[in-house]
């Protein structure tokens, strides 16, 4: 499968992998990669870098929104092969090392297997290595507060709930928010389309994930690049409000 790359602004690219997105931020010859897809997405990941005129050697850093297998898949490969630093929120660093795991359990999947889309999603997860563990040997906490000195100048914003150290990345000058799994626009197991929380079984603490929508609502932006689903054009603040409203409906 070829990489599905969409340019959303100068130097900003949203890439759709197999059920998971990643983002490439470029500045001249250098680039920042935000998330890395499933382990089985590696060929698409490398192809997407080439498609935007970049390469693994040109990566200044890999930023991870959170250390689930569908976002962490090739982070250790890039670190070990090319020496690319892998940065996360300090609370997510031990998660990336797999000192512990905050991820949907097999039991939770079984209990939700009756829901539309769950069984096909699980089959896909197994096919692309989503049940494997690829810990990052030497993940690092962000080297500074505020805007990172990396292509795109992303600003990490701690949005716990999906995992303890989940972060979204704000690009204030471009009016773009990279929301990871704190705010999605679709998912293989979700019936709704548009801004939403992921189904409850995927969150370590759903109440905190819901509360973190307040933090996203406060960010200035008119483009949302989620970890799952298509790009959302429109007020990021209103997208967070819409997700909150959906989350309070029965069955959510």
Is 157 in contact with 145 (CB distance < 8 Å)? no
pLDDT digit string, tens, across residues 25-40 = 999 999 999 999 999 9
Predicted pLDDT of residue 192: 85
Instruction: Look up residue 68 and give its two tokens.
Output: 């689930």
> Chain-wide mean pLDDT for the chain?
95
pLDDT at position 249 is: 77
Residue 56 and residue 216: Cα distance in Å, rounded?
Answer: 30
- The single-letter DSSP state of residue 181 is T
Q: Tell me the pLDDT tens digit for each residue of 45-83.
A: 999 999 999 999 999 999 999 999 999 999 999 999 999
Among 111-120, 132-141, 163-172, the least confident range? 111-120
Residue 110's contacts (CB-CB under 8 Å, 6 or more residues apart) are none
Cα distances from 118 to residues 47, 114, 162, 195, 235, in angstroms, run 29, 7, 18, 20, 30
Mean pLDDT of 132-139: 95
pLDDT value of position 33: 98
Is the predicted pLDDT of residue 158 greater than 80, yes or no? yes
Query: Of 12-16, 122-126, 193-197, 235-239, which gets the smallest average pLDDT?
Result: 122-126
Contact yes or no for 156/149 (Cβ under 8 A): no
- Is residue 251's pLDDT more than 60? no
Instruction: Tell me how far apart the alpha carbons of residues 227 and 110 are, in angstroms, rounded to a whole number.
Output: 24
Beta bridge partners, 33, equal 24, 62
Give the integer Cα–Cα distance in Å for 175 and 15: 18
């Amino acid at each position: 499968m070829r990489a599905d790359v969409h340019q959303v602004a100068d130097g900003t690219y949203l890439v759709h992998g197999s059920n998971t997105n990643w983002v490439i931020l470029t500045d001249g010859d250098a680039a920042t990669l935000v998330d890395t897809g499933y382990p089985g997405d590696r060929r698409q990941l490398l192809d997407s870098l080439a498609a935007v005129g970049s390469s693994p050697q040109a990566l200044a850093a890999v930023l991870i929104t959170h250390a689930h297998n569908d976002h962490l898949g090739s982070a250790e490969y890039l670190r070990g092969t090319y020496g690319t630093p892998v940065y996360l929120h300090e609370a997510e660093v031990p998660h990336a090392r797999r000192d512990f795991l905050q991820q949907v359990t097999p039991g939770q999947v079984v209990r939700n297997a009756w829901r539309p889309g769950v069984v096909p999603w699980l089959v896909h997860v197994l096919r692309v290595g989503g049940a494997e563990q690829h810990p990052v040997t030497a993940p690092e906490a962000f080297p500074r507060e505020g805007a990172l000195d990396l292509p795109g100048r992303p600003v990490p914003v701690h949005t716990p709930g999906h995992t303890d150290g989940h972060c979204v990345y704000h690009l204030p000058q471009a009016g773009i928010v990279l929301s990871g799994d704190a705010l999605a626009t679709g998912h293989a197991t979700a019936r709704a389309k548009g801004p939403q929380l992921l189904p409850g079984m995927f969150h370590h603490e759903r109440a905190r994930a819901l509360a973190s929508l307040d933090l996203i609502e406060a960010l200035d932006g008119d483009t949302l690049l989620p970890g799952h689903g298509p790009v959302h054009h429109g007020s990021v603040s209103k997208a967070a409000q819409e997700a909150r409203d959906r989350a309070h409906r029965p069955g959510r």
